[in-house]
Amino acid sequence: MLSFDNSFARLDVNFYTHNATTPLHNPSWIIKNNALASELEISLNNDPENKLLRALSGGQPLPGSQPLAMVYAGHQFGQYVSQLGDGRGVLLGELKTSAGQWDLHLKGAGLTPYSRGGDGRAVLRSSLREYIASEALAALDVPGTRALCVTSGTDTVWRETLEPAAMLVRVAKSHVRFGSFEFFHYSGQLERVKELADYCIEKYYPEITNEQRSQRYISFFKSVIKRTAILIAKWQAVGFAHGVMNTDNMSIVGDTFDFGPYGFMDRYNEAYVCNHSDHQGRYAFNAQPGIGLWNLNALGHALSSLIETADLQEALAEYEPQLITHYSALMLSKLGLVEQQPDDALLINSLLSLMQANGADYTLTFRGLANIESSVLVQQFSDKAGLQAWLTNYRARLKNNDIRKEQRQKHMNEVNPLYIARNHLAQEAIEGAENGDYTELHNLMQLLAAPYMEQPNQEKYAAAAPAWSHALKVSCSS
């Protein structure tokens, strides 16, 4: 029996619209996340009358849930769009567990008042892409929403072609976005901005609740800034590109949120644009830190009825140093260096430049560095002399590293993954699932759940992307 406490539904009705789900026909499970289910103290396997299956494919309300579509706005590719909202998903409710509360959101659940001409559905392909990345990032210790299951039915929807429809259950601490604040700010509902800020502080940042009124909103903003800086530092360190960093896709708790045309980088390219629809490269890999700041500026503006301009500016100034500090620490750790020394930034940057020039695989280069004689490292670079020159500097640096070699190697293999959600692997798993064969999907998910541990007979998943995959394109269509 699931137990809900729906605090968002207790807010004023201006924040959402109650909205029933539209069922998929003849539903079946595509994939269940049993590990996450047990964290949530539920079992997806103990479902004799298919009640859970029906509920999680939109067919029957879960007792205690109060499905609602949240309203928000957002800056999309730099342009303000005054009315967005959950156009194809609903917040089912807030699940109570002994460890805390979790939003259960059903994505692809049918039309809502915010569907704006869309069909309210999600396709199997994009639902599985979100499922795969959510769980891959969680295993890499990158904050993000989680995925409990994907269901599908006999329904089809039209994108560029006819595709199977599906639903994903997204599990998150929060579904409040930067764009939620923008909606109320720009529509002049300043009381609601305050109400939403108070709600977020109490629910997600309880450590702030006791602060004086004059301080609490700036503390809230600073906390969001800090979490966002840490989030983006982690993306940059694992080579993850989000693809659509619109302010409606920025979580107020600093989670990776709304996985669309994301990409885990194969060959290192700092200007990597994973979203085929992003013609200007606004959300290119190396633009993410700056876009994070742009989005925080937008949030700051939406909070300007609560926080003085000078305080907003002072808070925003903390973002860049926090991001750099976290990123540097992560990169140092990837190189197996225990304490930062003055030339380390140079060492990291010169490695990245070399990787860029050689099209070296980001993941395999770092994985290979634990053992610098390894063939996997050397294979990444056509400029062998360039690699050897860099390795000479690296070896010299390792002489001033206060850790034994075996320990360093062990540590590096615990922070540099071997298995990542490469585009072509996700594609194969999805194509299999579309044809009713889940072998690839299950195998991939098992490896991504423990991405640092080398498994026997899984060379294919640990290999660089094959040439055919460079042509794979991922667009916003989902």
Distance of alpha carbon 376 from alpha carbon 369, whole angstroms = 9
Kindly tell me which of 263 and 451 has the beta carbon lying closer to ligand AMP: 263
| 155 contacts ligand AMP (rule: CB under 6 A) | no
Burial grade of 157 (CB within 10 A; 0-12, 13-18, 19 or more)? middle
Binding letters toward ligand AMP, positions 46-85, x by CB under 6 A? --------------------------------------xx
User: Is there a contact between 412 and 334 (Cβ–Cβ < 8 Å)?
Assistant: yes
Kindly tell me which of 155 and 258 has the beta carbon lying closer to Mg ion: 258
- Is 248 among the residues known to form the active site? yes
Sole residue written with tokens 């917040």: 91
Distance of alpha carbon 444 from alpha carbon 386, whole angstroms = 34
> Applying CB under 6 A, what is the total number of residues that bind ligand AMP?
17
- From the list 5-13, 86-94, 222-230, 232-240, the region that binds ligand AMP by CB under 6 A is 86-94
Helices (H), 40-189: 51-55, 124-139, 178-186
Helices (H), 93-177: 124-139
| 234 contacts ligand AMP (rule: CB under 6 A) | no
| 174 contacts ligand AMP (rule: CB under 6 A) | no
**Cα 418 to Cα 75, 324, 365, 369, distances in angstroms:** 36, 25, 10, 12
The least distance separating ligand AMP from the CB of residue 165, rounded to whole angstroms, comes to 10
- From the list 91-99, 115-123, 138-146, 326-334, the region that binds ligand AMP by CB under 6 A is 115-123
- Interface residue with Mg ion among 174, 180, 249, 275 (CB under 5 A) is 249
The least distance separating ligand AMP from the CB of residue 116, rounded to whole angstroms, comes to 6
Distance of alpha carbon 284 from alpha carbon 268, whole angstroms = 12
Work out what residue 85 binds among Mg ion, ligand AMP, none; the CB cut-off runs from 5 to 8 Å by kind.
ligand AMP
- The residues, any chain, with a CB within 8 Å of residue 246's CB and separated by 6 or more, are 74, 75, 76, 77, 179
Catalytic residue among 103, 155, 248, 278: 248
241: part of which helix (H) or strand (E)?
Answer: strand 240-241
Work out what residue 183 binds among Mg ion, ligand AMP, none; the CB cut-off runs from 5 to 8 Å by kind.
none
Kindly tell me which of 261 and 336 has the beta carbon lying closer to ligand AMP: 261
Comparing CA positions, the residue from 363, 399, 403, 356 lying closest to residue 381 is 356
| 258 contacts Mg ion (rule: CB under 5 A) | yes
Q: Which residues bind Mg ion (CB under 5 A)?
A: 249, 258
Q: Write out the residues near ligand AMP by the rule CB under 6 A.
A: 84-88, 114-116, 118-121, 244, 249, 258, 260, 476
